């Protein structure tokens, strides 16, 4: 804790710092018509930490520097939280700076899960930890959340939770409701990915967020989408990735598309070591600025009959008892504690 720059509820959020107009990016909602807004967003960062981190990820030495930078960000975030700025509580945990209308102790296990989420993304996708602060605003109820949105994002249609990126730190906004945990894990997945990647294809962005939005113990066998996807596979098969790659905005993504995006991610992470390897390489190319091409092309070069493998994967995927996963603090997941010190 140190001197703070936190803002009181209702005060303006950070303005874009780039010299060009910077699009406000929401979870699937974009106020810009730019063809590649997330690339423009990265350029708008200039020499800010996300660019530095991107360069550092090229080598083992770079990873070491990246870790040092992440720890630096942690210290910076702790300083930011010195002043609650009118919120009931403010706290820095890893890359996250939480500001809440209610005591954060009420949702302590969920906050600890978010630390594990960062560790799981690093481990699963071989991406570095977030190298920039992610500000998370938590509201006690829908009413105060809506008031905040009306004041700061008046042109945004109602959504139960939001991820916003406008050239400064990524912002996550959510209010307490029965789906609060899923909302927060979903939006924080977007924020953690975009903290280290300049661009993520929409379908893959949403597929990842859907995969990681449930508690860790439910990701493989307990996701609500699993049953519907298995029926879809039996009846007509999943849509090919190429169909999902054509979706350019959230208006193109209905429930079937979200389910299909989740299903492809599930297959890549659980059904095919080759597919998982290609996914890791794809993310690495995105992060390093290498020509990445389309993921579907890369995947078919590696697994020509991939659609058949996807069907086989879900036909054979049987429910299993949920694994007993330790929470931060019980010593079961030491890697997840790294950014929480
Ligand atoms: Zn999303």
23 CA → ligand 1 middle, Å: 17
pLDDT above 90: residue 31: no
Give me the count of residues in the chain. Answer: 341
The burial of 178, by beta-carbon neighbours within 10 Å (0-12 exposed, 13-18 middle, 19 or more buried), is given as exposed
187 CA → ligand 1 middle, Å: 6
pLDDT at residue 98, as a whole number = 96
User: Does some domain include residue 330?
Assistant: no
> Within this chain, do residues 251 and 186 fall inside the same structural domain, yes or no?
no
> Within this chain, do residues 55 and 191 fall inside the same structural domain, yes or no?
yes
> Within this chain, do residues 180 and 229 fall inside the same structural domain, yes or no?
no
33 CA → ligand 1 middle, Å: 19
Who contacts 163 (Cβ-Cβ below 8 Å, separation ≥6)?
25, 26, 27, 170, 171, 172, 187, 188, 190, 191, 194
Domain count for the chain: 2
The burial of 62, by beta-carbon neighbours within 10 Å (0-12 exposed, 13-18 middle, 19 or more buried), is given as middle
180 CA → ligand 1 middle, Å: 14
330 CA → ligand 1 middle, Å: 30
pTM: 0.74
CA 101 – CA 186 distance, rounded (Å): 20
Low-confidence winner among 53-62, 179-188, 224-233, 324-333 (lowest mean pLDDT): 53-62
227 CA → ligand 1 middle, Å: 21
297 CA → ligand 1 middle, Å: 24
> Within this chain, do residues 161 and 300 fall inside the same structural domain, yes or no?
no
60 CA → ligand 1 middle, Å: 31
The C-alpha R_g of the chain, in whole angstroms, comes to 19
User: Does some domain include residue 251?
Assistant: yes
146 CA → ligand 1 middle, Å: 19
215 CA → ligand 1 middle, Å: 16
> Within this chain, do residues 58 and 175 fall inside the same structural domain, yes or no?
yes
Provide the 3-class DSSP secondary structure of residue 92: strand
3 CA → ligand 1 middle, Å: 33
Q: How much of the chain exceeds pLDDT 90, in percent?
A: 62
> Within this chain, do residues 148 and 259 fall inside the same structural domain, yes or no?
no
The answer to whether the CB of 131 falls within 8 A of the CB of 196 is yes
pLDDT category of residue 323 using cuts at 50, 70 and 90: low
Looking at 164, 199, 234, which one is the last position of a domain? Answer: 199
Residue 97, CA distances (Å) to 58, 135, 198 in order:
28, 5, 21
> Within this chain, do residues 163 and 80 fall inside the same structural domain, yes or no?
yes
CA 33 – CA 30 distance, rounded (Å): 7
pLDDT at residue 84, as a whole number = 61
Residue 158, CA distances (Å) to 82, 141, 184, 194, 297 in order:
32, 14, 16, 22, 36
Closest CA to 191 of 116, 270, 133: 133
208 CA → ligand 1 middle, Å: 9
188 CA → ligand 1 middle, Å: 9
Who contacts 15 (Cβ-Cβ below 8 Å, separation ≥6)?
166, 167, 168
206 CA → ligand 1 middle, Å: 5
**27 versus 161: which is more confidently predicted?**
161
> Within this chain, do residues 192 and 253 fall inside the same structural domain, yes or no?
no
Full residue range of the structural domain in which residue 127 is found: 37-199
**18 versus 118: which is more confidently predicted?**
118
Look up the CATH number of the domain holding residue 86: 3.40.30.160
Mean pLDDT, to the nearest integer, of 55-78?
Answer: 36
| DSSP letter assigned to residue 48 | S
> Within this chain, do residues 143 and 186 fall inside the same structural domain, yes or no?
yes
86 CA → ligand 1 middle, Å: 29
CA 86 – CA 239 distance, rounded (Å): 48
């Amino acid at each position: 804790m140190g001197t703070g720059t936190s803002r009181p509820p209702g005060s303006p959020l950070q303005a874009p710092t780039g010299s060009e107009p910077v699009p406000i990016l929401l979870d699937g909602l974009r106020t810009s018509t730019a063809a590649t807004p997330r690339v423009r967003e990265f350029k708008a960062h200039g020499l800010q930490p996300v660019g530095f981190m991107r360069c550092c990820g090229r080598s083992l030495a770079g990873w070491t520097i990246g870790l040092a930078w992440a720890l630096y960000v942690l210290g910076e975030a702790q300083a930011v939280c010195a002043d609650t700025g009118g919120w009931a509580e403010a706290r820095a945990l890893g890359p996250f700076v939480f500001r809440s209308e209610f005591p954060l102790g009420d949702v302590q296990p969920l906050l600890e899960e978010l630390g594990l989420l960062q560790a799981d993304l690093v481990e699963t996708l071989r991406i570095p930890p977030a190298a920039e602060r992610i500000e998370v605003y938590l509201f006690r109820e829908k009413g105060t959340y809506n008031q905040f949105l009306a004041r700061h994002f008046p042109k945004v249609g109602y959504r139960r939770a939001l991820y916003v990126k406008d050239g400064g730190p990524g912002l996550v906004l959510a209010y307490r409701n029965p789906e609060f945990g899923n909302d927060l894990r979903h939006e924080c997945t977007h924020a953690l990915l975009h903290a280290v990647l300049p661009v993520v294809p929409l379908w893959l962005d949403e597929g990842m967020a859907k995969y990681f939005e449930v508690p860790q113990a439910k990701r493989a066998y307990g996701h609500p989408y699993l049953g519907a996807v298995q029926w879809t596979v039996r009846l007509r098969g999943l849509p090919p990735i190429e169909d999902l790659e054509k979706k350019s905005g959230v208006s193109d993504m209905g429930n079937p598309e979200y389910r299909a995006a989740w299903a492809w991610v599930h297959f890549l992470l659980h059904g095919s070591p080759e597919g998982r390897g290609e996914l890791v390489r794809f993310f690495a190319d995105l992060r390093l600025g290498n020509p990445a091409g389309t993921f579907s092309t890369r995947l078919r070069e590696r697994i020509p009959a991939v659609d058949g493998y996807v069907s086989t994967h879900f036909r054979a995927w049987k429910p299993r008892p949920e694994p007993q996963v330790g929470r931060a603090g019980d010593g079961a997941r030491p890697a997840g504690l790294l950014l929480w010190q």
